[in-house]
Amino acid sequence: MNRHLALLLGAAALGFAAAAPAADTPKSGGVLKFAVSAEPPNYDCHAQTSFAFIHPVRPHYNTLLKFDTAKYPAIKGDLAESWTVAKDGLTYTFRLVKGVQFHDGSTLSSEDVKATYERLRNPPKGVLSIRQASYADIASIETPDPLTVVFRLKKPNAAMLANFASPWDCVYSAGKLKQDPRFPERNILGTGPFTFAGHVAGSHWTGRRFEHYFEKGKPYLAGYLAIFISGAPMVNALAAGEVLVEFRGHSPADRDRVMKTLGQKATVQESPWVCSLVVTFNTKKKPFDDRRVRQALSLAIDRWGGAQALSRVALVRHVGGILRPGYDLAASEKELAGYPGFSKDITAARAEARKLLKEAGVPNLAFTLTNRNVAMPYTPVGVFLIDQWRQAGVNVKHEQLETRLYLAAQQRDNPTFDAALDFNCDFMDEPNLQLQKYLSNDRSSINYAQQTDRVLDDLFDRQSGELDRKKRYALLREFEKRALEQAYTIPTIWWHRIVVLHRQLKGWHITPSHYVGQDLADVWLDQ
C-alpha cells in the first residue's frame, strides 16, 4: 500500500463537521503562535496522556503511520512508505522512507523503529509505557534490512493497524535508547518537521523548521511558539490575536465571546470528541474497596440532566458509557438507561444510593475529590459532581492540583487519593484503547483504581481479537455492564470539541481527537 493512499478504517461515520480543505496554495514562512492551557511534565511521548504534551512536543517527532485529518478516520504513511498485512492478520510489514534524518544528522533505520516498539511493549526498568497493553499481542519484531520492519503477532488484533498511527508512538533513536533508556524524558531528538529550540517553564515552548525534513517543501512554517496560558487570559489572547488558536477546545460561551470580537477574522470548527471525564475510586483505600460505596456514588449522578446544563457552560455535552455515544460499537441510549448510574429516574437512583451507603456503614460519607486545575471542563464538572453527591447526603472536598501534581497523585505506586476526576481520551474510537482504563492494574498503567478483575481482563481479550463486529458488540456490552456494576472507574459526561481559529491559519482540520493532527507539517499562514 502506497504511503500516500489513505486506508479507511472499519469505523462508522463519526458525524463531525470540519471545514473544507483550503484550495489556496500553501505559503512558506511565519511563526505560528498558539495557546496551550497546561504544561508537559516531561518530554517522553511513551509516558504521556495529556494534550499539554502533544501540542508543544509532537511537532518534533514522526510515527510509523498517522491519521489523514482531512479524511479522518483514514490513515496514511508517515515514516512508513508502504505496508502490507497478511491475510491471517498476524504479520505486518512496513517499508520505511529512505533518507530520513534525525535532528542530530543521523539516519533513521528499521533498528530505530524496532527499539521504539520494544520500549513500548516491554519497557526497561524505570521507563513508563502508558500504552503497553496496546502492543501485548506483538510476538516479535524483525528488521531484515535497514528499511524494512516486520511485526509478528501472537493473535489477530482488530486495532493493530490503527495503533501504528498513534500520535503517542514517537520514533526514537535506537542509539540514544541504548545509551540511556530514559533519554527521551529530558531530551528532544526526533525526525519531525520541527527541531527543538527551547522550553521556558511556565512561559513557552519553541520549535524551528527542520531544514532537512524528508517531505520536500515541508514544513511551511518557519517555526512555532506554544504559549502556556489558560482561562480568561487565554481567551483574551485569542480574541486579541496574540495567539491564533488553542487546539484543544473551548466552551460554548468562550466560542461566542471570541467570535463576537473577531467576526469574519475567525472561523469555528466543531466535532464530537473521543474524550470523557471519569471518576476513579482508589479501591485500595476504605471505604472505596466496597462496591456498594462506589456504585452508590455513580447512582447519585444525574448524567442526563447534567449534560443539558453543563453543555451551556462547558465543553461537555453527550451522555455515554465507556465508548463514545454515536460510535457504532457504543451502547444505545436504551441499553445505557439499564446500567447502574444511567437511569433517568434520578430520585429513585439517589434513594438506592443512600440505601447502599447505609448498608456499607458510611451513611454520612465524606471524602476528597482530586481534580486538575485546568478550568475547562475539569472545574465545572468537579463542582457538578460534588453538588450531585451532596444531594445524596455525601460531603466532598474539592482539591484541584497543577497537571504534574495531579498526574503524580494518581500514578504513584501507592496512591493515597480517595477519588479523582480523571480523563479517558484517545486518538480514535477503538475499544482496545478506551477499555484499557478498566483493565486490572497489573495489565494497564492507566488504571489508577488499582483493582484486579480477571473477568474484565478476559472479556477485553475476547473482544480484542474478535473481527466479527456483531460478536464484538455483544462482548463489549458484557464488559460494559460489569465495569459499570463494579464501578471502579465511572464515566461522567462526554466532551464536545469546539475550536476557534483565526482565518489566516490554514491547513489544519478538526477531528474527534485533540491528539491527532498536531505535527503541524501541513499548517501554514496566509500572510
Give the side-chain half-sphere CA count within 13 A for 280.
29
Would you say 500 and 263 are in contact if contact means Cβ atoms under 8 Å apart?
A: no
Q: Is the pLDDT of residue 172 over 70?
A: yes
At position 370, the amino acid (one-letter code) is T
**Rounded (10°) angle between helices 469-486 and 291-299:** 100
Which contiguous run of DSSP H or E holds residue 432?
Answer: helix 431-434
pTM score, whole prediction: 0.80
Q: Identify the three-state secondary structure at position 82.
A: strand
Q: Is the pLDDT of residue 407 over 90?
A: no
Would you say 59 and 193 are in contact if contact means Cβ atoms under 8 Å apart?
A: yes
Please report which residue ranges of 206-345 form alpha helices under DSSP H: 231-240, 252-262, 291-299, 303-310, 333-337
**pLDDT for res 18:** 40
Distance between CA 301 and CA 384 in Å, rounded? Answer: 9
**Averaged pLDDT for residues 386-406:** 95
Distance between CA 340 and CA 406 in Å, rounded? Answer: 28
Instruction: Provide the Cα torsion 276, 170, 465, 439; round to 10°.
Output: -50
Q: Is the pLDDT of residue 285 over 70?
A: yes
Q: Is the pLDDT of residue 366 over 70?
A: yes
The more confident residue out of 407 and 384 is: 384
**pLDDT for res 23:** 56
DSSP symbols for 299-318: HT--HHHHHHHHTTTSSEEE
Burial class (CB in 10 A: 0-12, 13-18, 19+), 2: exposed
Report residue 189 as a C-alpha cell. Answer: 531528538
pLDDT tens column, 11-58: 333 333 444 444 589 999 999 999 999 899 899 999 998 899 999 999
**Paired strand residues for 400:** 371
Residue with cell 490554514: 506
**Paired strand residues for 80:** 96
**pLDDT for res 152:** 98
Instruction: Spell out where 308-459 has E strands.
Output: 316-318, 366-372, 395-401, 419-425
**Rounded (10°) angle between helices 454-464 and 469-486:** 160
pLDDT tens column, 257-267: 999 999 999 99
What are the residues whose beta carbons fall under 8 Å from the beta carbon of 135, sequence distance 6 or more? Answer: 117, 120, 121, 163
Mean pLDDT of the chain: 93
Q: pLDDT band at 335, cuts 50/70/90?
A: very high
Q: Is the pLDDT of residue 9 over 80?
A: no
Residue with cell 477546545: 249
Distance between CA 270 and CA 459 in Å, rounded? Answer: 34
Q: Is the pLDDT of residue 466 over 90?
A: no
**pLDDT for res 5:** 33
Within 10 Å of residue 311's Cβ, how many Cβ atoms? 16
Q: pLDDT band at 345, cuts 50/70/90?
A: very high
